[in-house]
Structure 1
Amino acid sequence: MITFVGAGPGAEDLITVRGQNLLREADIVVYAGSLVNPGLLSMCRENCEIYNSAKMTLEEVMEVMTAGERAGKKVVRLHTGDPCLYGAIREQMDELEKENIPYEVCPGVSSFCGAAAALGAEYTLPGVSQSVVITRMAGRTPVPDRESIRSFAAHQATMVIFLSTGMLKELSEELIRGGYAADTPAAIVYKATWPEEKVMRCTIKKLAETAEKENVTKTALIVVGRILGSEYDRSKLYDPSFTTEFREASAPVQSEK
């Protein structure tokens, strides 16, 4: 069996219990280079074969995994965060299906969750935003025109932007052209949950300036939206004037002024 495992956002103890057990039992581990905390590899057995996929092509990765599975070995493909986001796992799964090789996925904690924890932020604040857009700037890897930063910015939803730290000037311009005000709160979270984690709060207009000042050029998430501000509505779920399936309202509805 080949198992795709989400390693979590960085901290060694933020891998799931299931993922940890799979690592400990693995005969072969193919891990995603500098994106995965190397401390996680210390969980592997001494005789475990370990490969760094940063130095490999898709074909080389598949050769290692398929040969291991056919030899009756337990194979773990260790991806950063949760492999469903920018993990390039679909092409691997398709190749395995062509060879009739079984696989499964063990989910992980994504770095966008780690970034929210670092910021003490709630991405879906009542009265501010009830949607989260997870996206990236177009670079060497293109993005469909219909999914441009500018088009998403028009919704004024919370945005979490991956893989774009090297293009912050362009990112700011696209966000503003799309509809965000230049003074909209923003944050740069470098290596969320890693020991070297750094949180930088600013505005959309000052994203590039802030990153340059802190010498951050990669491995950071950009969070944008008024959820980083101080104004929001109280949750209805715990409002005494709001009836739920489990609790009757215990106070009169507050009139809006």
Structure 2
Amino acid sequence: MIAFVGAGSGAADLITVRGQRYLEEADLIVYAGSLVNPALLDVKKETCEVYNSALMTLEEVLDVMVRAEKEGKKVVRLHTGDPCLYGAIREQMDALDAQGIAYEYCPGVSSFCGAAAALDAEYTLPGISQSVVITRMAGRTPVPERESIRSFAAHQATMVIFLSTGMLPRLQEELIAGGYPKDTPAAIVYKATWPDEKVCRCMVESLAETAKRENITKTALIVVGRALDGEYDRSKLYNPSFTTEFRQASEGGRENG
């Protein structure tokens, strides 16, 4: 059996219980060494083989995993965060499907969740934003034109931007051109939940300047939106004037609501 496992957002203890069990039982681990916290490998067996996929091609990764699986070994493909986001996981699963090799998928805590924790933020504040756009700038990997930063910015929803720290001057231009006011709150979250995590709050117009000042060039998420402000509407769910499936609105609450 091959298990694709999300490593979590950075801190070694933010992997899921199931994911840690897979690591403990693995005979072979292929991990994304450029992004995954190596401390996660501390739980592996002494006899476990370990490969760093940062130094490998897709074909080499598949060859290692398939060989081990055919030898009856338990294999873990350890991806950063949750591999559903920019994990290049589909091509691996398709290749295994073509060979009739079974696999499982263990989700992980994405770094965009880790960034929210670092910011003490709720991305979906009532009256401010009820949507989260997870996207990236076009670079060597293209982005469909219909999904450009500029087109998403027109909605002024909360936006979490991956893989774009090295393109901040152009990113802030696109955000502003798309519709975010220059003074829209923003943040650069470097290595969310890692021991050396750094949070830099700024505005959209100062993203590039902030990153330059803090010497942040990679391994960071960009968060943009009024959800980073302090103003929002009270949620209805816990409002005494609001009836739910489990609770009737109180008389006093109706008067005050």
TM-score range, shorter chain: over 0.9
Matched-pair contact (CA < 8 Å) for 1:186–1:228: yes
1:170 aligns with 2:194: no
Q: What SS does structure 1 have at the residue aligned with 2:143? A: coil
The one of 226, 251, 254 aligned to 1:252: 254
1:253 Cα deviation after fit: 5.4
Matched, 1:214 2:214: yes
CA contact (8 A) 1:31 1:53 kept: yes
- Listed one character per residue, the Cα deviations across residues 104-129 of structure 1 (whole Å, up to 9, x for unaligned) are 10000000000000000000000000
Tell me which residue corresponds to 1:24. Answer: 24
Structure 1 residues not aligned, in runs of 5+: none
Measured in 2, the distance between the counterparts of 1:83 and 1:150 equals 26
In 1, distance between residues paired with 2:164 and 2:173?
13
SS in 1 for 2:254: coil
Corresponding residue of 2:138: 138
| Separation of aligned partners in 1, 2:16 and 2:255 | 42
Aligned residue number for residue 194 of structure 1 = 194
CA distance in 1, matches of 2:134, 2:6: 18
TM-score (norm 2): 0.98
1:41 matched residue in structure 2: 41
User: 1:92 corresponds to which letter in structure 2?
Assistant: Q
Partner of 2:238: 238
Q: How far apart are the structure 2 equivalents of 1:65 and 1:224?
A: 39
Q: 1:242–1:253: 8 Å Cα contact kept in structure 2? A: no
**Matched letter for residue 105 of structure 2:** V
Measure the CA separation in 1 of the matches of 2:102 and 2:227: 42
Would you say how many aligned residue pairs link Structure 1 and Structure 2?
255
1:34 shift after superposition:
1.9
Letter in 2 for 1:96: L
Q: Find the aligned partners of 2:149 and 2:256 in 1 and give their Cα distance.
A: 39
Q: Please tell me whether the aligned partners of residues 149 and 174 of structure 1 are also in contact (alpha carbons under 8 angstroms).
A: yes
Q: Secondary structure at the match of 1:34?
A: coil
In structure 2, runs of 5+ residues without a counterpart are none
Aligned position for 1:223: 223
The 2-side partners of 1:226 and 1:186 are apart by 8
Deviations 1:52-74 (A, max 9, x none): 00000000000000001000000
Distance in 2 separating the partners of 1:47 and 1:92: 25
* Distance in 2 between residues matched to 1:23 and 1:186, nearest whole Å: 36
Deviations along 1:125-166, one digit per CA (max 9) or x if unpaired, are 000000000000000100000000000000111000000000
Equivalent residue number for residue 57 of structure 1: 57
Query: SS where residue 223 of structure 1 aligns?
Result: strand
Instruction: Tell me the CA shift for residue 85 of structure 1.
Output: 0.4
| C-alpha distance in 2 between matches for 1:114 and 1:181 | 26
Amino acid at match of 2:63: E
Inter-partner Cα distance in structure 1 for 2:38 and 2:163: 21
Q: Distance in 2 between matches of 1:254 and 1:198?
A: 42
Query: RMSD of aligned C-alpha atoms?
Result: 0.7
Task: Summarize the Cα distance change of 1:225–1:66 in structure 2 as closer, same or farther, 3 Å threshold.
Answer: same
Structure 2: which amino acid aligns with 1:177?
Answer: A
Q: Alignment partner of 1:159: what SS?
A: strand
